[in-house]
C-alpha cells in the first residue's frame, strides 16, 4: 500500500506540473504583443544605414529650394503671399484665362521675348520717324517765319521809299489830292499797328527814336498848310 500511494502521489504531481506549464504557456502567449508580418525579414547581422543618406537628401532639398528662388527671381514666399490672389478679384472664366495665359507664357517664353524685342524695335523706329517729322515741321515753321519777316522788311522799305518820294512831290503840286498825301503806314493798311511799325524802329536808340517821331509829327502840323 505505501508503494501504491507513492505512485498515485507521483501521478498527481506530474499532472499538476503539466497543468502549471500549460497555464504559464497560455499566459505567456496572451501577454506577448502582436507583431504584424513583414515582407522581408531582417537577416542576421543587418545594420541600419548611416545618417549620410539623410544628409544627402537634405542637401538636395536645399539645392532644389535655391533653384526655385532663382527661377522666381526673388523670395518665393514673398512672390506668393505679398501679391493679392488673382482669383479674389476674377470670375471663374477670367481666372481660367489667367491660368492659360500663364502656362502659355511659360511654355513660349522664347517666342514672347522675341516678339517683345520686335515690338521694341518697331516702337524705336516709330519714335525716330516722329522725331524726324517734328524736326521737319520745326524747320518748315522757321522757314515760313523768316520769309514773313523778310516780306515785312521789304514792304517796310518799299513803304518808306514811297513815303519819301511823295514828300518831295508834295511841294511841287498846285492841287493836292488824297492819293498824293504821304501817310506813314506800312503797305496800304491804315491802322495803329501799321503806323507804329512804320515810325518806330526797334534798332534805333531811345533818344534817336524820339527825334524821329517828333520830326514826323511836325510834318502834319496844321500851321504848315495854312495860308499866310
pLDDT tens string 80-93? 444 555 556 778 88
Q: Which helix (H) or strand (E) holds 158?
A: helix 109-170
Which pLDDT does position 4 carry in this prediction?
45
CA 165 to chain centre: 69
CA 78 to chain centre: 22
pTM exceeds cut of 0.75: no
Mean pLDDT, residues 158-165: 91
Answer whether residue 40 shows pLDDT above 50. Answer: no
Confidence band of 29 (pLDDT split at 50, 70, 90): low
Distance CA 136, CA 119 (A): 26
Distance CA 68, CA 85 (A): 20
Distance CA 90, CA 59 (A): 40
Average pLDDT, the chain: 74
High-pLDDT (> 70) share of the chain, %:
60
CA atoms within 13 A on the CB side of 183: 15
Domain ranges of the chain: 183-228
Amino acid at each position: 500500500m505505501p508503494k501504491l500511494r507513492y505512485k498515485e502521489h507521483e501521478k498527481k504531481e506530474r499532472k499538476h506540473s503539466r497543468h502549471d506549464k500549460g497555464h504559464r504557456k497560455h499566459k505567456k502567449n496572451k501577454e506577448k504583443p502582436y507583431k504584424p508580418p513583414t515582407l522581408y525579414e531582417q537577416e542576421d547581422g543587418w545594420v541600419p544605414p548611416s545618417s549620410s543618406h539623410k544628409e544627402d537628401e537634405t542637401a538636395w532639398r536645399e539645392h532644389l529650394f535655391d533653384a526655385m528662388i532663382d527661377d522666381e527671381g526673388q523670395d518665393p514666399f514673398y512672390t506668393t503671399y505679398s501679391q493679392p490672389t488673382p482669383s479674389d478679384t476674377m470670375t471663374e472664366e477670367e481666372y481660367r484665362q489667367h491660368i492659360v495665359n500663364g502656362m502659355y507664357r511659360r511654355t513660349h517664353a522664347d517666342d514672347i521675348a522675341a516678339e517683345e524685342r520686335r515690338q521694341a524695335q518697331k516702337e524705336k523706329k516709330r519714335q525716330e520717324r516722329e522725331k524726324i517729322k517734328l524736326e521737319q515741321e520745326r524747320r518748315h515753321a522757321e522757314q515760313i517765319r523768316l520769309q514773313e519777316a523778310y516780306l515785312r522788311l521789304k514792304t517796310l522799305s518799299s513803304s518808306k521809299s514811297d513815303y519819301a518820294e511823295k514828300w518831295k512831290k508834295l511841294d511841287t503840286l498846285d492841287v493836292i489830292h488824297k492819293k498824293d498825301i504821304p501817310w506813314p503806314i506800312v503797305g496800304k493798311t491804315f491802322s495803329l499797328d501799321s503806323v507804329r511799325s512804320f515810325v518806330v524802329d526797334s534798332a534805333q536808340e531811345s533818344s534817336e527814336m524820339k527825334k524821329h517821331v517828333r520830326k514826323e509829327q511836325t510834318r502834319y502840323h496844321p500851321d504848315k498848310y495854312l495860308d499866310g
